[in-house]
Amino acid sequence: MTLHEVRPGPTGATPVVLLHGFPLDHRMWLDVAAALPAGRRVLAADLPGAAGAPVDLSEPSLESAADDLARELADAGIERAVVVGLSMGGYVALALAQRAPALVAALGLVDTKSTADADDARANRLRIALEALDGDTLEPVRPMATTLVGETTRAARPEVSERIAVWIDGQSPAGVAWSQRAMAARPDRTDVLHEFAGPVTVVVGDEDVTTPVAAAEHMVAAARDAHLVVVPRSGHMSAVEQPAAVAAALAELAQRADHA
């Protein structure tokens, strides 16, 4: 795992840590980071296997990714942070909140869900992992550049999908396989939201068909102190499709964390 300091900031404000979705890397967060208010440290992680980094395929685990992240944050001198994850990043954020709750001041859950995969979704992940490895290819995930964005974005801004396609091409088949197998093995973590004492913001694109609004509402209902933000004209990649709206939601969450 690599932790990138996207923007330095003072020690008084709670830092923000951004965790990317699949099959991408930390670059998907750069527009959101740029739109966050100044005066706050912002970091973004490349999760295991992202950006073509070597990965141990013997133990694909979101729990190990959360543990790695906790160590990286400690090495960066961060004791508490606003932890934000989109899709797979949200799964890691929930695992971190379960395994290192003192580290998580607030949770931002963007186009993600707290439940485990259904059997058919799990089988599809394992199929993609095998195809990527056996063929040493990214072909199984290249269509996601189009399918992950909302209908409005596909019709009006094809350059967004083109940008995502470049990021996908920067990944590796081994990294794709690791991520898919790790996500397939994850448990339901709705109980983590029940137990989490800090503020939560759940963000979802109104055109997200991968983790739809109903999945977001499920998390809001489970959490003690949660706000729901529905981003118009956006699909599963709301942080890329509508970064200003996502940044505004995360800025409000960070302010809540500062005063929690």
pLDDT tens digits along 9-28: 887 899 999 999 999 999 99
Q: Using 50, 70 and 90 to split pLDDT, how confident is the model at 139? A: very high
Residue 167's pLDDT is: 98
Strand ranges for the chain from DSSP E: 2-7, 16-19, 42-46, 81-86, 104-110, 200-205, 226-231
The second-level CATH assignment, the architecture, of 2-258 is 3-Layer(aba) Sandwich (3.40)
Two tokens at 17? Answer: 């840590």
Torsion of CA 95, 99, 103, 108, to 10 degrees: 20
Taking a C-beta distance cutoff of 8 angstroms, is the pair 190, 112 a contact? no
pLDDT in tens, 226-250: 999 999 999 999 999 999 999 999 9
Model-wide pTM > 0.85: yes
Q: How far apart are CA 79 and CA 76, in angstroms?
A: 9
Mean pLDDT across 71-82: 96
Taking a C-beta distance cutoff of 8 angstroms, is the pair 254, 43 a contact? no
pLDDT in tens, 194-234: 999 999 999 999 999 999 999 999 999 999 999 999 999 99
Q: Which residue ranges make up each domain of the chain?
A: 2-258
- The contacts of residue 53 (CB under 8 Å, 6+ apart) are 2, 46, 172, 175
DSSP character at residue 50: G
